[in-house]
Amino acid sequence: MAESSLYAGERDGARVFQIGRIGFDQGTSDLGTTVYTATLRSERVAPAGVGALVNFRRITIHLLSSGTYTFTVKVWVDDGRTLLGSDATQTIVVTGGGGSLSEHTEEVEIEAVGSHIQVEVTADSDDVNGIFLIEGIRARGRVIRGTSGRSGVAT
């Protein structure tokens, strides 16, 4: 069976990266190091609609991997970083994986209330073995107040 890959060029350089893989680039190293950092940041998403109020409780990250991995997760709710306790920003380190190609779902606990959410996943190439492909990120929570809207009436 034929195998296909997707490639992307570096915006301000001459390197080409294979999408969906971290640590397989054979290009030049960044600033004298051989570690590459992949950062995936979602758009701002309002799952209950703009202006709604949601109690966000959990982030689920669905991924495909063929080895072990360690990555960090940062979350913003209404453009503010989620907090650990009363004042420290929350950065979650996730470690997992196994020896064969399989799907995994990692869950991150948060506690934040707002309208929209944004999630960032960062992985260094020396913390990932084999294939590491994030397939989906979902926010879980409870809607406190739905979005308000007006109905249009033609006159």
Q: 60-71, pLDDT tens digit by residue?
A: 999 999 999 999
Contact, 52 vs 64, CB < 8 A? no
pTM beyond 0.85: no
Indicate whether 15 pLDDT > 80: no
Residue 107 lies in a domain: yes
- pLDDT higher than threshold 50 for residue 1: no
- Residue by residue, what is the 3-state secondary structure of 30-70? ECCECCCEEEEECCCECCCCCCCEEEEEEEEEEEEECCEEE
Domain that holds residue 77: 35-144
Distance of CA 31 to the CA centre of its chain: 25
Judge whether 113 and 53 are in contact, CB under 8 Å.
yes
Residue 14 is assigned to a structural domain of this protein = no
Q: With 50 as the cut, is the pLDDT of residue 45 above it?
A: yes
Distance between CA atoms of 3 and 107, rounded to whole angstroms? 31
Residue 22 lies in a domain: no
Max Cα–Cα distance, the chain, nearest Å:
68
Is there a domain that residue 91 lies in? yes
Q: What is the mean pLDDT of the chain?
A: 82
- Evaluate whether residue 152 is within a structural domain: no
Q: Is the pLDDT of residue 94 over 90?
A: yes
Q: Is residue 3 part of a domain?
A: no
Cα(126)–Cα(129) distance, rounded to whole angstroms?
A: 8
- Each residue of 106-120: pLDDT tens digit? 999 999 999 999 999
Contact 91, 48 (CB under 8 A): no
Q: CATH number of the domain at 54, please.
A: 2.60.120
Q: Tell me whether residue 153 is in a domain.
A: no
- Whether the CB-CB separation of 144 and 131 falls below 8 Å is answered with no
Q: How far is CA 115 from the centre of its chain?
A: 18
> Does the pLDDT value for residue 149 go beyond 70?
no
Domain count, the chain: 1
Confirm whether 135 is domain-assigned: yes
Bigger pLDDT: 153 or 5?
A: 5
**Does 85 score more than 90 pLDDT?**
no
Residue 80 has a pLDDT of 92
Q: Is the pLDDT of residue 152 over 60?
A: no
